[in-house]
Amino acid sequence: MEFIIQRDSLINTIATVSKAVSSRTTIPVLTGIKLVASTEGIILTGSDSDISIEEFIPVEKEGEVIIDLIEPGSIVLPSRYFGEIIRKLPGDQVKIKTNDHLTITITAGKSEFNLNGMDAADYPRLPQIEENRVLSLPSDLLKTMIRQTAFAVATTETRPILTGIMWKLMDSELTFVATDSHRLTMREAVVESPDHLTFENVVIPGKSLVELSKILLDDSRLVDIVITDNQILVKIDHILFYSRVLDGTFPDTSRIIPKNGKTLMNLNTKEFLGAIERASLLAREGKNNVVNLVTRDDNSVEVYSVTPEVGKVIEEVNPVSLEGEPLRIAFNAKYMIDALRAVDSEIIEISFTGAMSPFIIRPSDYNKILHLILPVRTNQ
Amino acid sequence: MWEDCVEQKQLSHMLQQSLKNDRIAHAYLFAGPKGSGKRKMALQLAKGIFCREKEGDSCDQCENCRRIASGNHPDVHFIEPEGTRIKISQVRDLQKEFSYRGMESFHKVYIMNQGDKMTTEAANRLLKFLEEPPPGAMAILLTEQINSILPTILSRCQILHFSPLSPKHITDQLVQMGIRPGLARVAAIVSAGIEEAEAYCQTESFAQVRGLVIQLSEDIVERGTYSLITLHDRILKRDSFNEELNLFLDLLLLWLRDLLFYLLGQESQISNMDQMETIQKQAKRWGQRRLVDGMEKIMETQKRLSGNTNVQLCLEDLVLRLQEGS
């Protein structure tokens, strides 16, 4: 393998793929970055076995020659040293050349490095892409969907399957569901996909998706997603992002969503969020962040929280509309705050089914998002 | 390949058959002394599962076989003690890893070396995982001390006992590697397994300690109390004697046994075969009775030293007792 490359583009690519490289790994070859050179360009791969990021640098981009390719080949280089060396080298161009016995020589300007590498044959194989199982959606939509669901995944490992977000595709509608068994978030979106393509119970670790959203751009360029048996692949321009899939069955959440609300209210999101945040200032000290919500006879809503050792807070909120049975309910303020922050609409609609049943929060103008929160049982 | 597991022919045949008939257990415990081929067999079993070329066997050529051998296969995990113990966090990481689907295939294997080094918490955490393994997962625990493993773990594994290698087998292998037969045979007897024996043969100190043992034995019968000075000046002053202590006593015991074999006319049993002349010379001076008593004393000393005793006093005592017979 031998090539000369523009240093800038190599630095950027190393920065992208090394996001996936972890120093804490039991598999020695994963401490490295894989380099594969072919006549079209070079591919860099980083992986911690949970996620893998692959980026392609073409020989020529927008008329500018990036790589002067001399000879194809492959090697795995220790990511820490390789990244640091390329960053610190002088000049605009770097020459990389493999010698015998898995070592390479990096030359730039007057400086020359010899670095020991590992055999690229030892590197894990990433799944092959099947072109007929591709679904596409805009980058910014995917990013929003992740932001609106990832906060609800379980943080404890007691039920590993709940640390992931469940993906489902039916009739070209992609659904994300995340739950930690106290609250649930669901986000739907229409995507481009072939008619025959449906899947469900594909559970992707929340952590991987948070990493993915760091790479996703804030524009409406389409990204392609491919689901395979063991991994999913997200294709963003020249970057391929792979994540392993969690093993197991995600709980069936369709039945726990109540159909008919007994108390319905529409609230101004910002105002209500402010009230809950203030009420949780005192509640935070107590267990469960408990905040209470009571409907009054004069069609207003009272939010209050009492922690005997600290004090109490009462705040009146005027809903846009309120109908149905009177209600007294308590819930974890943190869950409510998370849900309200994830909703981008001005007005939200909350539908309660009694003090002991879960309640639903949705944007009033948009039915693609649903948050469900379980109430807290109190002695009052 | 399974044929390469020459250390444990029976077990390798058994595992090969279960792989062929798709009757592999979800958890194995390989118990046996150091050097009895546990790790090799565990790797072989993993290769047998993942190999692309041969069904139920390994080709040792394909990328899967090579990556398993180099520890780089993403679906084969190795757990070694961190420091002295296997900690609960390692088991937790393992469980987390196994909540994911395999990286490349449906199968996942973990090999835990020195399973007896698990802390109680780690072992208890592993229990449920052993009992209800995720689909496609297989556990292989290796241990040299099956007695220190919790009974609850034992009852969840299929236990395979690895018998120690016969010294003759080790000697043959060492001789094939080009080591002198005399040295090879002694090393094979005092070591546990082929690797240790090979290491012995390649270090200088092993030959030195053996020389000192023969010297000391000669001094005890020829020069009386002078042997105490030999002990002090040439043996106890050695820089690394603390590590060599057990080896020293084992070699001394073996030497006396050889002398006894000579007196009994069973020369074919003698291990230090390259020292026949010295054996002839010393054996008569020692006498049968004294040799038998002497060996008993050495074993007694070994037992004492395994407790918290003063090394110098113990060895001086031993040398004096060995002289008493004359």
Structure confidence by residue, pLDDT tens digits, B226-285: 888 888 777 887 777 777 888 888 888 888 888 898 888 887 878 887 888 888 888 888
- Whether residues B225 and B277 fall in one domain: yes
pLDDT digits (tens, 9 = 90+) for B113-132: 998 889 999 999 998 888 88
ipTM passes above 0.85: no
The structure tokens listed for B32 are 């046996």
Q: How many domains does chain B have?
A: 2
The residue among B78, B99, B129 with the most chain A CBs within 10 A of its CB, best to mutate, is B99
Please report the DSSP string for A297-340 in residue order. Answer: TTS-EEEEEEETTTEEEEEEE--SEEEES--EEEEEHHHHHHHH
pLDDT, residue B191, reads: 77
Of residues B88, B143, B87, B94, the one with CA closest to residue B114: B143
- Whether residues B17 and B156 fall in one domain: yes
Task: Give the residue on A whose Cα is nearest the Cα of B125.
Answer: A158
**By residue range, what is the domain housing residue B132?**
2-164
- Whether residues B29 and B155 fall in one domain: yes
Please report the DSSP string for B86-136 in residue order. Answer: B-HHHHHHHHHHHTBPPSSSS-EEEEETTGGGB-HHHHHHHHHHHHSPPTT
Encoded amino acid at A62, one letter: E
- Whether residues B98 and B13 fall in one domain: yes
Alpha carbon distance B194, A353 (integer Å): 73
CATH 3.70.10.10 spans which residues of chain A?
257-373
Alpha carbon distance A37, A44 (integer Å): 9
Q: B188 exposed, middle or buried (CB, 10 Å; 0-12, 13-18, 19+)?
A: buried
Q: Report phi then psi at A204, rounded to 5.
A: -110, 130
pLDDT, residue B6, reads: 73
Residue among A122, A160, A247 minimizing CB distance to B70 = A122
CB count within 10 Å of CB B13 equals 13
CB A302 within 8 A of CB A296: yes
The structure tokens listed for B86 are 């296997």
Asked whether residue B93 is assigned to any structural domain, the reply reads yes
Residue among B70, B99, B104 minimizing CB distance to A246 = B99
- Whether residues B243 and B291 fall in one domain: yes
Domain A134-251 fold: DNA Polymerase III; Chain A, domain 2 (3.10.150)
Asked whether residue B272 is assigned to any structural domain, the reply reads yes
> Which CATH number goes with the domain that contains B43?
3.40.50.300
Q: Are strands A64-65 and A164-170 parallel, antiparallel or unpaired?
A: unpaired
CATH architecture, range A257-373: Box (3.70)
Q: Are strands B108-112 and B76-79 parallel, antiparallel or unpaired?
A: parallel
Task: Give the residue on A whose Cα is nearest the Cα of B63.
Answer: A121
Encoded amino acid at B280, one letter: Q
Mean pLDDT per 10-residue segment, chain B (326 residues): 78 88 90 84 91 82 88 90 88 88 86 91 89 87 90 91 81 78 78 76 82 84 80 79 82 88 83 82 84 88 84 86 73
- Whether residues B21 and B127 fall in one domain: yes
Q: Report phi then psi at B94, rounded to 5.
A: -60, -45
Q: A258 exposed, middle or buried (CB, 10 Å; 0-12, 13-18, 19+)?
A: middle
Contact across the interface for A122 and B102, Cβ inside 8 Å: no
CB count within 10 Å of CB B4 equals 12
The structure tokens listed for A32 are 């490295």
pLDDT, residue A284, reads: 66
Domain stops at, among B164, B193, B227? B164
Q: Classify the phi-psi angles of B246: left when phi > 0, otherwise alpha if psi is within -120 to 50, otherwise beta.
A: alpha
Mean pLDDT per 10-residue segment, chain A (380 residues): 90 92 86 91 91 91 82 91 91 88 88 91 83 85 93 88 92 92 92 86 93 90 88 90 91 86 91 91 74 89 87 90 90 92 90 90 88 84
Asked whether residue B129 is assigned to any structural domain, the reply reads yes
CB B155 within 8 A of CB B240: no
pLDDT, residue B104, reads: 82
Q: A82 exposed, middle or buried (CB, 10 Å; 0-12, 13-18, 19+)?
A: buried
Alpha carbon distance A234, A217 (integer Å): 13
Alpha carbon distance B141, A128 (integer Å): 34
CB A3 within 8 A of CB A70: yes
B164 touches chain A (CB under 8 A): no
Asked whether residue B149 is assigned to any structural domain, the reply reads yes
Domain stops at, among B111, B140, B164? B164
- Whether residues B158 and B215 fall in one domain: no
- Whether residues B110 and B23 fall in one domain: yes
A71 touches chain B (CB under 8 A): no
Contact across the interface for B101 and A247, Cβ inside 8 Å: yes
Long-range pairs for A302-310: beta carbons < 8 A, 24 or more residues apart: A303/A275, A303/A276, A303/A279, A304/A279, A305/A279, A305/A280, A305/A333, A306/A282, A307/A282, A307/A283, A309/A285, A310/A282, A310/A285, A310/A286
- Whether residues B251 and B135 fall in one domain: no
Task: Give the residue on B whose Cα is nearest the Cα of A156.
Answer: B96
* pTM for this predicted structure: 0.78
Asked whether residue B183 is assigned to any structural domain, the reply reads no
- Whether residues B127 and B227 fall in one domain: no
Instruction: Give the residues across from A149 on adjacent strands.
Output: none
pLDDT, residue A293, reads: 92
Asked whether residue B188 is assigned to any structural domain, the reply reads no
Encoded amino acid at A166, one letter: M
Domain A2-122 fold: DNA Polymerase III; Chain A, domain 2 (3.10.150)
Asked whether residue B319 is assigned to any structural domain, the reply reads yes
Residues 77-116 (B) with a CB less than 8 A from some CB of A: 77-79, 92, 95-106
> Which CATH number goes with the domain that contains B299?
1.20.272.10
H-run or E-run covering A78: strand A73-78
| Residue position matching structure tokens 């390989």 | B30
Instruction: Give the residues across from A176 on adjacent strands.
Output: A167, A187
B181 touches chain A (CB under 8 A): no
Domain stops at, among B134, B164, B194? B164
CATH 3.10.150.10 spans which residues of chain A?
2-122, 134-251
